[in-house]
Structure 1
């Protein structure tokens, strides 16, 4: 369901996407509202589920995660129980940054971060190949991120 927001909400959301830690007073100045009105709008956007969370982005390579991979998964069973079980298993793996249920040749695409190729081999053999209904796995290693953002075009 599309939620209606006005131009002030849009400005507030843009500012928060650029800097989620911006002080309320500075945010209020930026969008030309009083601090209390800004706070009220922000809380409303949170309670309506438009603002889902505030996150910290960490440099993965600074912590030794040198491999960013996209792993394509094909399954031979597509019943609700199989899908639910697969999704549960994958969401429990901390290496999985994203999991997308997709159309086409594969059923899922995982965005996975690992330290090295040995970790990749272990991850595929121990965690993915052993999952029920998984029939095919294809891995693509990223050379580098050209663009990475969670900001929506407002």
Structure 2
């Protein structure tokens, strides 16, 4: 088995640019990184095939599509066994309004990021879906009042150990 090539300076630059603008043309990307189009495309394909680039997404304006409430919800489960966790995760994955689910340390077991049309819709969602998951012991909602940073751009480390 051969060693994977490392992320070099050009790869990191490609990743930074694509995170800011995934719709950039290969021609424009090649200009920005200083390579011709063919090797640029080859590098992007290598980053995609290796799994470094997972996918491409359109970021939607929540208020323009009628989603006015965003919350974090801290969840405690009734048990911490594999079956309870699996039951919870399976149920949460079926709720479209739950846009993130994180297993965490501390006083809660999970933190969810939930988005809804309004407070009434959010309340109904909590009552009808999240509270009905049999392994949910308690939940605490934190309504997001304002967001001052919502970056989807990850810093790409210069660590020599990063490999693709």
- TM-score after normalising by structure 2: 0.90
> For residue 64 of structure 2, what is the aligned residue in structure 1?
62
Deviation at 1:97, TM superposition (A): 1.0
1:21 equivalent in structure 2: 23
- In structure 2, distance between residues paired with 1:102 and 1:127: 21
- What is the count of residue pairs matched by the alignment? 153
CA distance in 2, matches of 1:136, 1:52: 34
Runs of 4+ with deviation above 4 angstroms: none
In structure 2, the residue matched to 1:151 is 153
Distance 2:138 2:8 in 1: 46
Summarize the alignment of residues 35-74 of structure 1 with structure 2, pairs less than 5 Å apart. 35-74=37-76
Q: Tell me the SS of whatever aligns to 2:73.
A: strand
Q: Distance in 1 between matches of 2:78 and 2:87?
A: 14
CA distance in 1 between partners of 2:154 and 2:14 (Å): 13
C-alpha separation in 2, matches of 1:13 and 1:117:
38
1:7 matched residue in structure 2: 9
Q: Determine the structure 1 residue equivalent to 2:160.
A: none
- Over the residues paired in the alignment, what is the CA RMSD in angstroms? 1.3
C-alpha deviation, 1:136, in angstroms: 0.7
Partner of 1:92: 94
Q: Can you give the 5+ residue segments of structure 1 that lack an aligned partner in the other structure?
A: none
Aligned partner of residue 75 in structure 2, secondary structure:
strand
Tell me the CA shift for residue 65 of structure 1: 0.8
Give the deviation of 1:118 after TM superposition.
1.0
Give the C-alpha shift of residue 4 in structure 1.
2.8
User: For structure 2, which runs of at least 5 residues remain unmatched after alignment?
Assistant: 157-164
Could you give the per-residue CA deviations for residues 30-58 of structure 1, whole angstroms, max 9, x where no partner exists? 00111010000000000111000000000
